[in-house]
Amino acid sequence: MTPLPVAQLAILCLVRLAEPHRIFPYVNAMIEELHVTDNLADIGFYSGLVDGLFAVAQLFTVFQWGRLSDRIGRKPVICIGLLGSASGSFCFGLSKSFHQMLFSRAMAGALSGNVAVVSSIISEITDKTNQAQAFPLTGAFWSIGAIIGPLIGGTLSHPAERYPAIFGSYDFLKDRPYFLPCFISSLFTCFSITIAYFLLEETLPSKVLEKKLKAAAKAELLRSPSMPSYGTLTTGLTPDRPQSSSISTPPTCVETPVPKVVAPSTRSLLADQHIRNVLIAGFLLSFVCVGYQTVFVLWAYTPLSLGGLARKPAEIGYVLSSTGFLGILVSLFLFPALHPRFGTKSIYAWSISLWPVMLVLIPLLGCPNEMLAVIRTGLVGLSAISRFAGMAFSAQMIMVKSAVPNQQSLGSTFGLAQSVACIARAAGPAFASSVFAISVDKNILGGNFVWVVLLLVALCGVAATSRVEERQE
């Protein structure tokens, strides 16, 4: 097995850890306090718009970021994406209206193309012998973000009220009670930008080749100081002593041509059957996952009278973080252990098949109000299952890499895959939250109609997975 490039993977994990801006624990309360709507049943719709707009904005730019990384390099695009994430988090915390919330999320989404670029870098620094260990690492650190983020968001919101001895004298934090967690997120992202700028190595093959050619030319010139370089005169030459024609230029020079990279078009990538199949399966996987996450938070925040659990943002944050460590263990140890024995395709199909099972079990948790402890226990169990189902995302990245037709299309293919995932993440929250609102308002199937809809989508995802195949080299 090829040794893992630990240092570079550590920087990429830091990038993924810094990216997520977890607004789930407090976005519903923020919308309510800003008086976006007076109808509590409509809060889910507006929170779905806020969360989904990030993916909508990212949808229109992430493929272009991937193509740009195929031309100018991976490192510059990574730094731009982190800067956008930091700016978006900072502005979100300053928001005093629904329109400002939407603008900050759109800005962060439009400038964020790092998921595709990080996957491209991992593809370039690993091979088939160690990719199963490398790809899940970013997912593991995403899970760490899923633990830290909700805790920060739920714990540090309303700091002047929660911790009056420390923040009670700051009117700014009273006026903007959600600024502190956003500010902490921005600071950490700025730290990640600094690390990436100085320590992350460029991996785009054309840029690596260009760097090697320049280094070789410089070394050749240093070894032959008496040889003339372009635009200079050799010392000691006079009209009576012409330069000997036997002196030649170094065989390796700065002007050695570097192969020009031609970015593939979207149409040419979509014409590939392998790419189409993996994109369809990835879309359905992302749609089900984000739909489940959105409805879970809504269900937990919705008042008991409307069929919810009436939990506070801090409590929701603790629940979301409760099984995060399991997700980390699954990514770091279980997936790499299963991969050599079962292969990417089998793990992919098996983990996606867990989503229908989980969605069938959710309505069974409907209990009287006095049995909320039973519901909480069941939700922890379901959350644990979702961590195992999350292995599908690690397998998805490897399947996308396998579908890449050539090295020149790597960033563009991952960018296209991320664009498709953005469509799912943009439509998923708004769709799922709207169906949830209809289910509760019309009392369709006892308010469980939304789970039936998500179940049907999950079954389509299972069927789509059967068509995904690894490209034969």
| 76-101: pLDDT as tens digits | 999 999 999 999 999 999 999 999 99
> In 10 A of CB 53, how many CB atoms?
22
Cα(413)–Cα(109) distance, integer angstroms: 19
**pLDDT category of residue 38 using cuts at 50, 70 and 90:** confident
Confidence (pTM): 0.77
Q: What is the mean pLDDT of the chain?
A: 82
Backbone angles phi, psi at 410, to 5 degrees: -60, -55
pLDDT tens-digit series, residues 379-400: 677 778 888 998 999 999 999 9
Length of the chain: 473
Residue 145 makes CB contacts below 8 A (sequence gap 6+) with 16, 17, 19, 20, 22
Nearest to 12 by CA among 190, 199, 144: 199
Q: Using the predicted structure, report yes or no on whether residue 223 has a pLDDT greater than 70.
A: yes
pLDDT value of residue 115: 84
Nearest to 67 by CA among 203, 282, 268, 266: 266
Amino acid identity, position 458: A
pLDDT tens-digit series, residues 228-271: 544 444 444 444 444 444 444 444 444 455 555 566 777 888 88
> In 10 A of CB 165, how many CB atoms?
6
pLDDT value of residue 307: 62
Helix-helix angle 179-199:131-156, to 10 degrees: 150
Q: What percent of the chain has pLDDT over 90?
A: 35
Domains of the chain: 8-206+261-465 (1.20.1250.20)
> In 10 A of CB 272, how many CB atoms?
18
323 or 228, higher pLDDT: 323
**pLDDT category of residue 225 using cuts at 50, 70 and 90:** low
C-alpha 456 chain-centroid distance: 25
pLDDT tens-digit series, residues 405-449: 888 888 889 989 988 988 887 788 778 888 888 887 887 877 778
